[in-house]
Every structure is written in C-alpha cells, then in structure tokens.
Amino acid sequence: MSLRHILLGMLSRPHSGYDLKKQFNQSLRNFWNAELSQIYPQLQKLEKDGLLTSKQIASSNGPPRRVYTRSDKGRRELLSWLANGPNVGEERISYLAQVFFLSELTDTAAAIRFMQELRDHMMSWLESLQEVERRWQAEDPRYPDALADEDFYPQLTLALGLRKVRCNLDWCDECIARLKRRCAADFS
Amino acid sequence: MSLRHILLGMLSRPHSGYDLKKQFNQSLRNFWNAELSQIYPQLQKLEKDGLLTSKQIASSNGPPRRVYTRSDKGRRELLSWLANGPNVGEERISYLAQVFFLSELTDTAAAIRFMQELRDHMMSWLESLQEVERRWQAEDPRYPDALADEDFYPQLTLALGLRKVRCNLDWCDECIARLKRRCAADFS
DNA sequence: TGTTCCATGTAATAAGTTACATGATTTA
DNA sequence: TAAATCATGTAACTTATTACATGGAACA
C-alpha cells in the first residue's frame, strides 16, 4: 500500500495529479513509478477517505486543474507509515531474474552480450544521475549538507542511486570478465 | 509479466507449485517473491496456454503432488523474454520512498533512528547472504567459477546481492554521519 | 497542419495480497 | 496432543498496466 503513502508524502504542498506524475518522472523514478491512470483514481480515493481535500483551479495555459492538499488526517497517516520503520525485502528486480536463467541461452557469447547491454543501461543511468547532481550543485550553494530538510532527504536517495548504479556497473564488469574466462576455458 | 517467465525459467526441470515456492524462499527471494495463491493459478494458466504440461504424482510423505514440466513452446517463450534484453528501470524500493519523505518527522533524531533501523536490516541481510556463500563454497569445490551453468548464473546474482547490500550499508553509515553533523549544527 | 504539451479521466485487464478451506503426515 | 510441514487450491480484494476518450493551447 505504498503509492497511497507516497502521494501523501508528495502533497506536503498542493499539487494536481498531472504535477505529481511529472515529479515521478523527475525525482522519484529511481525507486518508484506510477501511471496517471493509477494516480487519478488513487487521489479520488484518498479524498473520499478524508486524507486529502481538493479544489478546481483555473490554469493560465491549459484546462482547469484539480489541486489536492493533504489534510491533518493525511499527515498522520503518512507519519504512521514512517513510524512503522523501513519496508525492506520487497524488491523486485526483473533483470536479476533474467541473469538467474541465462544458462538457458545457447552459448556464453549470448550471455556476455546480455551483460554488456545491461552495463550500457547502467552507464547511461549513471550519467543521468551525475547530470542531476551537477545541476543541483551548480544551482544551490547549500548542496548537499546545508540543504533544507525537504531537499536534504531527497538528496540522500540520490546519493544511494549513485552508489548503487556504480555498484551495478562494477558487478557487470566482473561478470563479463568471469564469463570471458569461462568462454576461453570452453575452447581449451 | 515477469512471474510467468520466472516460473518458466524455474521449470527447466519438473517441479510442483509447492517446490517452486520453496525456491522463491531460498534462492530467488533477493530479487523476487510470489505467494502460493499466485503461483498455483499462474501454473494453471501457463498449462492452458500450452507452455507447461502437468501430471499428478503420488508422494511418499504427504498428499499427491501436481508436477509441471516446461514444453518446447514454454522454452521458446522464455528465450524470447531473455532475447528482449535486460528489463531495467522498473524497480520499486519502498524504503527509499520513506527516506525521501523523512523531513516530515518532527526531529532529526527520529530520522537517525530510522536510518539505524535500516542499517540493522541491511546488516542481517548481509550476514544471511554471507552464510549462503560460505555453505555453497564448503559444499562445492567448483565454487564459484567452475560451477556448471545452471549454478554459475545464480551465483552471479548472489555476487550482486553481496555487493549491493554492502553498498547499502556504507550508504546508511554515510547518512547517519551526515545526519549527526546536521543535528549538531542545530544546537550551535 | 501535424505534433507535443496541458489536463483529467474511465474501462478492461492483469498482477499480486490476504484470508479462507481442507486434510494427511511428521516431529516435538 | 499440539505444532509444523506437506500439498493444493478458491474467494475477495487491492494494486497496477494498457488502451481508450476528450479537447484546448502552443509550436514548428
């Protein structure tokens, strides 16, 4: 039941469903994603449960926007989620499932290609995170340790993103090297 | 649509639904989990689609078991999943979402407690992975690089598990240190 | 004049969780 | 004799994805 709480977290200040989707695409995408078709009904449900309130507001450029605000009850719900302690052990990483079954491929060369493709993904992911960090650093002299709380904690998640992607990259390199050695052993 | 393919991957040799659940609990849990109430219907569906066949077999100890075997069509389906390349960018890590919103807590001390709890989880996770590795190493002299393919690729996922958990631990330590510095700054 | 962005939604389907139901065998 | 393990499933519900539907404004 995490999306519910994530939306509550994002609504520390008022936003529309469309805004929230943009935030997913920008800053939360490293650990969560949600489609508009899931966000809109969930916001409606949260309002029905009294955790949010909404009002329609005219927009300067496009159609009118429905803007949601977290209620006190909503804030308490968010706090109880955090107070329950960290939710660990629910990760789903489908590329790891793929690696697990790579022996099904006909030859080691195909497995190497798979790992190389994975490495490429990780590399471009790393670059995009580095770009985010570079920009943030350039725009805010308080980066990273003097940031206000609302930015400091998100920065911690960026820091883990960077560490993790580097870790994945190193692992890909290790795998490719080990696979190449196995490949060489096949012909001897 | 990953569970479908994961089950196909696991059925390179015949297993019952109950067997498969045990495998999830033992070796796949680091990147995927599924409940029996999801596994049984999914196996039935895969059989209906012609990707598996099954037969009921009497058991020595308990009730009779329905054992599933992958068909040729099932194997081709698995291969096309692998051939599509790595599935990246679909990760959901709810503890990171929690960290993202930790500014909602009333004080930094509570955030430090949260991170310490997370660190404890990571530590016990690391210990369990190390135990798995220790046992494997003791039982099989081919560990890790001379393992047969069916074990070698799973070992690669264990290797990433170890790296990743260590990475998370280091990050937790960094976060706690940075938070303590902020906390000290609050009182100055 | 076609594409992208803004903005909100519904419908149908798939995937996943929790609770329920059954009943034999093995272990403490 | 109580609990755990073996073994398979259904029912109700929640969560998430994909496809569909609408329509104005900005841009190229």
Render pLDDT for B1-58 as a digit per residue (tens, 0 to 9). 899 999 999 999 999 999 999 999 999 999 999 999 999 999 999 999 999 999 999 8
Minimal CA separation from B122 to chain A, in Å: 9
Tell me whether residues A175 and B182 touch, CB distance under 8 A.
no
Give me the CA A61–C1' D27 separation in Å, rounded.
14
**Average pLDDT over every residue of B159-163:** 98
Q: Which of A62-66, B102-106, B143-147, B152-156 has the lowest mean pLDDT?
A: A62-66
Tell me the average pLDDT across A15-22.
Answer: 98
pLDDT band at A157 (very low <50, low <70, confident <90, very high): very high
pLDDT at position A10: 98
Query: Model-level pTM?
Result: 0.96
pLDDT-derived band at B140 (thresholds 50, 70, 90) equals very high
Of the pLDDT bands very low, low, confident and very high (cuts 50, 70, 90), residue A1 is: confident
Chain A CB within 8 Å of residue B177 CB: no
pLDDT of residue B59: 82
Confidence of residue A113 (pLDDT cuts 50, 70, 90): very high
Does the pLDDT of residue B142 top 70, yes or no? yes
Which tens digits make up the pLDDT trace of B109-129?
999 999 999 999 999 999 999
- The answer to whether some atom of strand D lies closer than 7 Å to the beta carbon of A34 is yes
End-to-end CA distance of chain A: 54
What DSSP string runs through A22-71?
HHIIIIITTT----HHHHHHHHHHHHHTTSEEEEEE--SSSS-EEEEEE-
pLDDT of A188 reads 67
Average pLDDT, chain A: 96
pLDDT band at A28 (very low <50, low <70, confident <90, very high): very high
Residue-wise pLDDT for B170-188, tens only, equals 999 999 999 999 988 776 6
Long-range CB pairs of A142-145 (<8 Å, 24+ gap) are A145/B178, A145/B181, A145/B182
Chain B residue closest in CA terms to A28: B97
B2 at interface of A, judged by CB pairs closer than 8 A: yes
User: What is the mean pLDDT of the segment spanning A37-62?
Assistant: 95
Residue closest to sugar C1' of C19 by CA? B37
> In this predicted structure, what is the pLDDT of residue A60?
79
pLDDT beyond 80 at B61: no
Query: How many residues can be counted in chain A?
Result: 188
Distance CA B75, CA B83 (A): 12
Question: What is the percent of chain A with per-residue pLDDT over 90, rounded to a whole number?
Answer: 93
Nucleotides of D under 7 A from a protein CB: 5-12, 14-20, 23-26
Residues 55-74 of B with CB under 8 A from A: none
Q: Which pLDDT score is estimated for B43?
A: 98
* Assigned token pair, B139: 């039982």
pLDDT for A3 beyond 80? yes
* pLDDT given for residue B185 in this prediction: 78
- A170 in contact with B at a CB cutoff of 8 Å? yes
**Chain B environment of A99 (Cβ under 8 Å):** 153, 156-157, 160
SS3 state at B69: strand
Q: Which helix (H) or strand (E) holds B121?
A: helix B108-139
Contacts of B178 in chain A (CB under 8 A): 145, 156
Residues A5, A77: contact at Cβ < 8 Å?
yes
